[in-house]
Amino acid sequence: MSVLYALRLCHRPAAAFMIVGVFWGSMAALAPQLKAQIGADDATFGLLLLGTSIGLLTTMLLAPIFDKALGSWALPVASVGLAAAFLLPGLAQSYAFFFAAMCCAGLASGLLDVSMNARVSELEAVHNRSLMNANHGMFSVAYACAAVFTGIAREAGFAPLTIFAMIGVVALLLATRTRMQVAPVPDEEGGAARFPWGVVLLCGGVVLIAFMAEAAVESWSALHVERTLGGRAAQGALGPAMLGLTMAVGRFGGQAVAEKWSDLTVITAGAVLSVIGALIAAAAPTPLVVYLGFGTLGLGVSAIGPIGLAMVGRMVAPSIRTKAISRAAVIGFAGFFVAPAAMGLISQGFGLRASFVAVAVVVLGLFPLQAMLRRRGA
């Protein structure tokens, strides 16, 4: 099945994936400027990014209720909320305000993330097709474009608040295309005792490691290029942009690969590439070489997170699909905020090169998770 056909089947949630992508791509390219704006060192900035995890923990409780209550309006409402939340980091001048702003961004992003992944999982069940990689590919395209745009805007002297406002206009236009009907599901017997926590934790762990590797490059690649290798703002923005572009290629390619290879084979191959890419980034002597590392890591890790979420949707009953995806997604999305904090702490003590070596070590954790999923018949 072609990528274009997959996107025709799920163009509405794909617009939501693009909305999330443009904001986090802009956030990644603005990291050096936001860090300077609040006067934080590496360790402090990394810890402040943990504020997003507070928002995500709230998402885990609220997302299934939010999604069920709003139904077809869940994606548009969450999209508008995300556009509003991302104005806050641009206003931050203190540690406390920035931390609170990231809490709000995490909450809004998590609500939209859970709902859009649930919609894709529903469409996969209806059409009996793998669609998750194509949608996550649109996230990566939007992420890369936003990172490049933000780098250019920074060179032109625009403030973070202005850049987030411009991105917000794009997001609001996309939000008009996100409303879609929710597939009805029958109530089934079984309560909390029957909730498949084993599957959720294993698949969530796969998503967690993939998103940790992705987030490490997103949040610290621009700083690595600008500070470690002496690059300019536009060169720094090419770090997350390279990640986004190669992840888009990997995810669109993964859309075809997913129909020929097993999920676990894709996870294994992706893990090997990701480790190699992280080590290249750690040892890179020039920006060109570090872009090669980021690109290799992006290709490797690209399909792993979407596959983890798709496996949850396929391995649980339809009546608990949104709840199961919300739990696995929150476990995975925590990687977007645990990783930057850990990178900051490691960088403060040992430098950014050591931080990227740590990313390679974390990715190795995919191998035991893959083995446990194989024993469960995934």
Domains held by the chain: number: 1
With respect to residue 190, please indicate whether it lies within any of the assigned structural domains: no
**Mind listing the pLDDT tens digit for each residue in 50-62?**
888 788 778 767 8
With respect to residue 121, please indicate whether it lies within any of the assigned structural domains: yes
With respect to residue 185, please indicate whether it lies within any of the assigned structural domains: no
With respect to residue 324, please indicate whether it lies within any of the assigned structural domains: yes
With respect to residue 187, please indicate whether it lies within any of the assigned structural domains: no
215 pLDDT band (50/70/90 cuts)? confident
pLDDT value at position 191?
A: 46
With respect to residue 345, please indicate whether it lies within any of the assigned structural domains: yes
- DSSP symbols for 200-231: HHHHHHHHHHHHHHHHHHHHHHHHIIIIIS--
Report the pLDDT averaged over residues 316-321: 80
CA 151 to chain centre: 20
**Mind listing the pLDDT tens digit for each residue in 187-199?**
554 444 477 888 8
Sign of CA dihedral 303, 24, 53, 273: positive
**Inter-residue contact 294 to 28 (CB < 8 Å):** no
Residues 353, 356: Cα–Cα separation, whole Å: 5
Domain that holds residue 283: 3-177+196-375
**Mind listing the pLDDT tens digit for each residue in 38-52?**
999 878 888 888 888
**Mind listing the pLDDT tens digit for each residue in 136-180?**
889 888 988 898 899 899 989 999 999 999 999 999 999 999 998
Tokens of 109: 């992003």
Helix (H, G, I), strand (E, B) or coil at 127: helix
pLDDT value at position 190?
A: 43
With respect to residue 131, please indicate whether it lies within any of the assigned structural domains: yes
Residues 282, 289: Cα–Cα separation, whole Å: 10
Please give the helix or strand (H or E) that residue 148 lies within, else none: helix 132-155
Tell me the average pLDDT of the chain: 86
With respect to residue 206, please indicate whether it lies within any of the assigned structural domains: yes
Report which of 61, 53, 112 is spatially closest to residue 334, judged by C-alpha positions. 53
The CATH number of residue 64's host domain is: 1.20.1250.20
